[in-house]
Amino acid sequence: MKISFSPEDEAFREEAARWLADNLTGEFDKLRFRGGPGDEHSFIDERRAWEKRLAAGGWVGVGWAKEDGGRGATISRQVIFAEEYARAGGPGRLGHIGEGLAGPTIAAFGTAEQKARYLPPILRGEALWCQGYSEPAAGSDLAAVATRARLGNDGQWRISGQKVWTSLAHLADWCFVLARTDPASSGHHGLGFFLVAMDQPGVTVRPIEQITGSSEFNEVFFDEAVAADLLGQPGEGWKIAMALLGFERGVSTLGQQMQFRGELDEIIRVAKDNGAAQDPDIRSRIAEAQMGLTVMRYNALRMLGGDAEETRAALVYKLHWASWHRNLGKLAMDVLGEAAELCDTAPYGLTRLQSLFLFTRADTLYGGSNQIQRNLIAERGLGMPKEPKGR
């Protein structure tokens, strides 16, 4: 896909860049380039306030339809905002799961009453969401979900089970939960897509401390927790869950790449400052990283194109960026040299590049491991048959 920018688009770019420059000041100045992967625990209160500042400026729901309260921005303008936000050093979004996943899914599958209840708080920067998909025995194989939903005599659905690796569950107001409505079902059949309030009896959140020393991931236990709403009908959970994953691979990928661009720029800066850039091997690896990032951008643009190449582009995207980002973390450590092994402060004062290296160890695992991604490419992209079980 070739995205070209009209004079009106460039005016929009100037508007976005100017607003970000004017607002990432004062109390928000310290948030620049903070709160990303491996740094999610930083400045929580300030980033909550930032969500509301974005909302007040009309920068939440930029790509949502106008009838849902958004700006109705074109793909090109959504790309522009994602790039300008990252270029300005906008902090990691606490509301991104609500804006990028829950909101579009509710808009696509919700009733008028559900849209009226759930969409406005997201657009105001008030309601934070988390994603209840992965389970101890249902990670890459999401169809193995075992969390149960039971319909009581009072007409309410009650959720019981465990979710894991749930980002920002300790901060979230709501969770969308994939649960089994038919206890006799298996695989992608008999699932429901539920909207569950986190602040209620029967919901327990336990943080998972990571190798970075932070704990933005959590275990979430549901013990007869009451679901506020069922999105769609019982049995439609898989269809809705897959549609949501389609939203996940949208314009936000361009913003992710701008974050990667910032990380690579920091590595280049350090390499110049400490002399590592004089090493031919380091220079070659920096060039390789630059080429990989360029390929990533064009692949993401193909994903947004809506043409025949879109599906295959989406299949390879996660495998590509996860492997690339893991290698970038290794490059960061080699550029730092001996300094990579030292913390700035006790007990665990990691630098940006140290956190980058440690966090990228997980990139090739979460969201579908590299091995799973290769299977998906073979089966869905190349049409190869599944390997028989037991081999």
Residues designated as active site: 248
User: How far is the C-alpha of 179 from the C-alpha of 195, rounded, in Å?
Assistant: 11
Amino acid present at 89: G
Tell me the β-bridge partners of 162: 221
DSSP class of residue 38 equals: T
User: How far is the C-alpha of 275 from the C-alpha of 269, rounded, in Å?
Assistant: 10
Tell me the β-bridge partners of 218: 207
Question: How many Cβ atoms sit within 10 Å of the Cβ of residue 25?
Answer: 10
Residue 382: helix, strand or coil by DSSP?
A: coil
Phi, psi (degrees; rounded to nearest 5) at 40: -65, -20
The 8 Å CB, 24+ separation contacts for 338-341 are 339/274
CA dihedral 315, 317, 318, 322 (to 10 degrees): 150
Give the end-to-end CA distance of the chain in Å, rounded to a whole number. Answer: 40
| Cβ(188)–Cβ(231) below 8 Å | no
Q: Which residues contact 327 (CB under 8 A, 6 or more apart)?
A: 285, 289, 292
Q: Which residues contact 172 (CB under 8 A, 6 or more apart)?
A: 97, 128, 129, 130, 198
User: How far is the C-alpha of 328 from the C-alpha of 360, rounded, in Å?
Assistant: 8
| Locus of tokens 């897509």 | 193
